[in-house]
Structures are given as structure tokens and as C-alpha cells.
Chains A and B, each alone.
Chain A
């Protein structure tokens, strides 16, 4: 059984890291500015987002048909489609393919799903070397760290941190500027690209109509991963499918502008099977489609929307909570508002009961989501399930039920309000409320709690209404 993710505890630790807070504050500000620019340049950005949402919702409702179409097209082009019920099966499949072709080295481009299923660990256990080729993921791997953002895995690191890391591993000067660092990574990775037998990627989209895998990137590493090695394995979740190639006209601008504010990423690869007479490209192509609880989510009309996510990271950049605590605080692969939704869905309520509450429901995420996922509503739905499944502490349950009971009648409400005033004067006298008991105490560490007024509004209103002429 997985240890529960203690978001509150972890956030306290993250907040104590002044360096991290500064790094995040600057990075998020920059990413938000890019989002605003990208969004404002396109007058019909909102319409595109509506369309993106509609296409995703439609596809999810007919997912079975589109997946079968995808499989048929890929098979017809000489590719192989594999279905994995969970991460373990998927890892076994990928390791199996690698062993079959005698691979000893695998190059990878950035993929969240392979983080989700812990593919690198499975490959390494089988004695296969894995090299991450996305610059951020390369740094993460070199440092034995974890990505902290969907599209910017080392957003929590400064240039100096990377320089120090590279000086230890790649022999660059400790004070090397960015150009020197990227050049060092590039020459290190070049060797890997040329010698790896297998390239593993994720997928931003799968096009059912043409049987294509679409990869969106800025560094060109995914293109090398999919063209230099003999075998290309794409590993992704079943929700990534879209119906037609022309849908990319909607999804590409929506995804890229939401992620980085660019008009288009430097590279967009549309890969449709292995090489057939062309001078380059892989000899074999495999697509591993992972369920890993996704059909369970699909069956749930209230939560299905979560599967529309494009993994663009816009909700992380907009989120005031993410900005303060960073991605590692969310305790698993997916961070930020959408992580607070996806993690409980994939790991179950026991492992992540604090996550759905880690939001003020301020709605900033909903405002920027390229497919208009109503994340606050999903978070509330998950909270309802936490209550229904008994994952809430007895104290909270008792307090909330009691509050609900008291507020249901104006008579009980008035009694509760009188009782509150008696408690207030017994505990705090006439002064400001500078401490609260038990689980409420964190409120008063740096703020005073407001005092109940000597007279409620309704008491004042009654007096007023007795004054003739003031109220008819």
C-alpha cells in the first residue's frame, strides 16, 4: 500500500525553502505573462478552446470506436499496437520489446505517462540503460530528482544548480553560462542518440483517422528519438486520441499557446508507423496504450472531464497554491490543480485524501484551461467522495454535520449564535482573538480571528423596524 501524500506537511517544508519560493515566483510570473501574450494575440482563442473541449468530450464518449480505428490504421501501416491494463503490464510490454531486439540502451523524450508507470525503473531492472533526452528531464535524471512541472520539469532549479550538477557529472565549469551547459548536454546526448537501439516517447495526440502519433516539442530531441534508433515505442494513455488530422488545427494552437505562449512549438512531428522505403525512420513502430484506471474514470460522468487534459501546465502556472509550494509538494507525478484531480483518481482516495482540498477554489485554473476543464467543480466532486467514503476525520465530519444541522433552521441558527457569544466572552473576554483551539490554531498564527459582533444584523434590524417611518 502506498503511503498517503501529506500535502499540508509537505507544503510547510516547501514554504520554508526561501530559494524555492523565489525561483517559483519568478518562473510563474514569466509563464503567466507568456500565457497572456499567447492568448491575447489570437482573437478567436476562446472559440478554439470551446472547440477543443467539444472535440475532446465527443472523442471520450466514443473512445472505443476511435481506439479501434486507430489500431486498424496503425496495423495497416505496419505498426504494432499493444494494450496495457495497468502500469506493470505496460512496463512488461516495453521491456519485452527492448529485449526482443536486443536493446541495451534506450533514449527517451519527455513523457508524463512513463513517469506515471515508472518505466525507467523497470528498464533499468532489466539491465537496459535509459537516457532522458529532454534537457529538463536529463537534468532530473542526472540529479536523481523528480520533475516538478508538466512541461518545465526543472522549474524548481536555478541555472546555478544546473551548472553545479553539470560540473560534477559533465566536467563543465561551475560558473558556466547557459550556452555552455546546453552545449555540454547536447554533445553528451548526441552519443546516446547514435548508439541507442530503441527510442521511447509519449504522445501529445493520437490521430485515429491516420493512425499517427503527434509529438509537440521545442528541443528536437523527440524527433531524434523517433528517427535514429531502429525501434520507436510510443507509450501513452488511451485518452490521448483525437478523431481527425484536421483537429490538430484546433489543438496545436490551443496546446502550444497555453503551455508556452508560442504560436507554434519549434517541432511538431506527425509519425505514422515505421519506415517504408524512406531513407530514415525506425524499422519497427510500437504503440503501447495504457488504461491504468482511465476506463474507470471514463465511466464516471461527473469526473470524466478530467480525461480531457492536454498536460499543457497552464493551470499550474495560474494556481496560487502551486506558485507557493511547487510541484514536489503534490507528492506524485502530476502536480498543480489538475494533479490534485488526477492523482486521487489514479492512486485512489486513501493515498491522496488531502489533495482535493489543496485549493482555495479560486477558479484561476478553470480560466486558463485550454479545454475548459472545470477543475474547481472536479475538486468539489472529489471532496464529496472523500466524505462519502469516510476519508474525512471524525472531528471534521461532526463539525460539518453539526453546522449543517444548526443552519437549517433560523431558530437553531439564533441559538447557535447566542452560544457562540457566550463561548467568545468566556474564552477571549473583550479583546481581539489571537488564538484558536486545536485544528483551528494555524489560522491565528499570523492573523486575528474576527469577533462576533455584540449584536447581530438581525437583532439590529428588529430594533430598526420598530422605528415608525423607516420601514413599511
Chain B
């Protein structure tokens, strides 16, 4: 757990905010900036950035996804580190970009960019060695690690550690944290009923913990959970890891 990646601590990082955060949850982007600045990292926001292309890639539109991968690499190539508040977007960059752009002129740069793109929790714990942000939240909190963070990047434990270290948090684990929430991008549209069934089980698990707040590292899963919680008028709140960590002691 205490192991850190053998990389130099970057003084300056580029924020890849992700399209979902940019369009739907800008507060998560702001919280990410706040957290990074609090630990002394200077944040830049390259305004040419758009989307990692994961939705196209996962749906089989390889050429279109490759075009977005090229765009991403060109935009983020000049930075020594890229941080994103999303496990699945980072997994797409790290796992799939090198395959997508293999044999192209950008192959070398792609590998480098892929290596220095980090999910927020992973960046804090593994790169900076920071596990305590001085955040505070009173309540029962549970954690849903996204599938791509947990099994794609293998860094699900970083976020959990950060959450557990938030002052005032009573951490209550899900019975099956590893179970997919059923979002899966296009999957939730093509197989709406299956997606709903998976979501219902996740919500039941969530309900059984008695948590007031569910924290996640990906707004995709969170918007899925929130969409159903909101429809049911549930008092349970969804929070992105960045939002939780940005909460200051009162």
C-alpha cells in the first residue's frame, strides 16, 4: 500500500477534466484543481482537450477513437504529468491508446503520454505519496470503485485509503464493491433492462450499508447511481472522490 511509483514528483500537471465532468459536473473539475493545488501542485488546463474517445472505442468505432487518441496525445504531450478525475478515461489512455496508435508516427509519444497519465487518487497516493488531505466530512461513507479503476488500472485501493483518512468519515464498505453498477456506456442504452437490474442490486447493497454518501472515482458510475437515487428521492448523496477530498475542515 505504501509503495509509490518510481517517478519524480511533478511540480506542474495538466488536468484532463474529461468530457463528462466538463459538461455535466464542472464542480468535480474544480474540486480536482483545489485538491491538487492544496498539495502544492500547479495545475494547467490545456483548452484544446475534448474527450478520450472511450465511448467510440468501446462501441467498435476504432478509426474515430484513434482520431481522438491522436488529438489527446498531441494536446497532452508537452506536459510531464496528466491527471484526470476518472479511472475509466485513464484506463482507456493507458491500456488502449498504445494499441490504437501502434505503427503510427505518434507511437512513441503515445506510450510516453500513456505512462504519465494518472487517475486522481492514484496520483495522490502513488506519485505524491499523499494519503491525508485534511478534508472533513461527518457521516457514514461507502465507496464504489469503478471497474476500470479496480481491474483496468488495479489502483482501486488508493481512493479507498484517501476516503478512510478523511476526518469524521465512518467508512462502511459495500458487500460487493467489485460488482459493476451496470452503466457500461452504450450498454445501459442497448440493454437497458439488464443495466437496471445490475443498478438495482448495487443500490440494494448501498442501502444495506446505511451510508449517507457514496463516493466514486468516476462520474460515469456516479451519474448512473445518482440518476436512480434522484428518481427514488433517496437522501443518499453521491460524491466524487475529488469533491470529498476538497471539503475543508470547518
Q: Could you list which residues of chain A lie within 8 angstroms of chain B, going by C-beta atoms? A: 7-8, 11-12, 15, 21, 320-321, 324-325, 354, 356-364, 366-367, 380, 382-387, 392, 396, 400-401, 403-405, 407-410, 413, 417, 420, 432, 434, 439-440, 442-443, 445-453, 455-461, 471-472
| New contact pairs (19) apart from A385-B60, A410-B50, CB-CB < 8 Å | A8-B191, A321-B198, A357-B190, A361-B147, A363-B151, A383-B60, A387-B60, A387-B61, A401-B64, A410-B49, A413-B51, A439-B189, A440-B189, A442-B189, A442-B193, A446-B200, A447-B228, A457-B26, A458-B17
Decide yes or no: A15 and B23 within 8 Å by CB, A400-B61, A404-B61, A407-B50 being known contacts. no
What 0/1 pattern do residues 84 to 115 of B give for CB contact below 8 A with A?
00000000000000000000000000000000
B237 within 8 Å of A (CB atoms)? no
Interface residue range, chain B: 35 or more
Q: How far is the CA of A456 from the CA of B17 in the complex (A)?
A: 11
Q: How far is the CA of A460 from the CA of B33 in the complex (A)?
A: 12
Q: How far is the CA of A448 from the CA of B195 in the complex (A)?
A: 14
B13 within 8 Å of A (CB atoms)? no
Chain B contacts of A449 at CB under 8 A?
Answer: 227
Q: How far is the CA of A332 from the CA of B231 in the complex (A)?
A: 37
Q: How far is the CA of A357 from the CA of B60 in the complex (A)?
A: 9
B180 within 8 Å of A (CB atoms)? yes
Q: What is the CB-to-nearest-CB distance from B108 to chain A, in angstroms, rounded to a whole number?
A: 22
Chain A contacts of B231 at CB under 8 A?
Answer: 434, 446-448
Partner of B147, one of A360, A380, A448: A360
What 0/1 pattern do residues 151 to 166 of B give for CB contact below 8 A with A?
1100000000000000
Q: How far is the CA of A245 from the CA of B184 in the complex (A)?
A: 42
Partner of A360, one of B17, B180, B226: B180
B68 touches A453 (CB 8 A): no
Chain A contacts of B21 at CB under 8 A?
Answer: 457
Q: Which 10 A-B residue pairs are closest in the complex by CB-CB distance?
A: A442-B192, A360-B184, A383-B60, A404-B64, A447-B227, A362-B180, A457-B29, A363-B151, A457-B26, A362-B147
Chain B contacts of A447 at CB under 8 A?
Answer: 196, 199, 224, 227-228, 230-231
Q: How far is the CA of A12 from the CA of B195 in the complex (A)?
A: 11
B50 touches A362 (CB 8 A): no
Task: List 22 interface pairs A-B (beta carbons < 8 Å), by A numbering.
Answer: A15-B193, A325-B194, A357-B187, A361-B187, A363-B151, A392-B60, A404-B61, A404-B63, A407-B19, A410-B48, A417-B23, A434-B231, A439-B189, A445-B192, A447-B196, A447-B224, A447-B227, A448-B230, A450-B24, A456-B26, A459-B26, A460-B30
Chain A contacts of B42 at CB under 8 A?
Answer: 472
B68 touches A360 (CB 8 A): no
Residue of A nearest to B219 (CB): A450
What 0/1 pattern do residues 121 to 141 of B give for CB contact below 8 A with A?
000000000000000000000
B23 touches A403 (CB 8 A): no
Chain B, 49-70, CB within 8 A of any chain A CB:
49-51, 53, 55-65, 67-68
Q: How far is the CA of A443 from the CA of B185 in the complex (A)?
A: 11
A364 touches B223 (CB 8 A): no
Residue of A nearest to B68 (CB): A407
B197 touches A324 (CB 8 A): yes
B45 within 8 Å of A (CB atoms)? yes
Q: What is the CB-to-nearest-CB distance from A435 to chain B, in angstroms, rounded to a whole number?
A: 11
A360 touches B187 (CB 8 A): yes
Chain A contacts of B198 at CB under 8 A?
Answer: 320-321, 324, 360
B62 touches A384 (CB 8 A): yes
B248 within 8 Å of A (CB atoms)? no
Decide yes or no: A364 and B151 within 8 Å by CB, A11-B194, A404-B67 being known contacts. yes
Decide yes or no: A404 and B56 within 8 Å by CB, A448-B227, A450-B226 being known contacts. yes
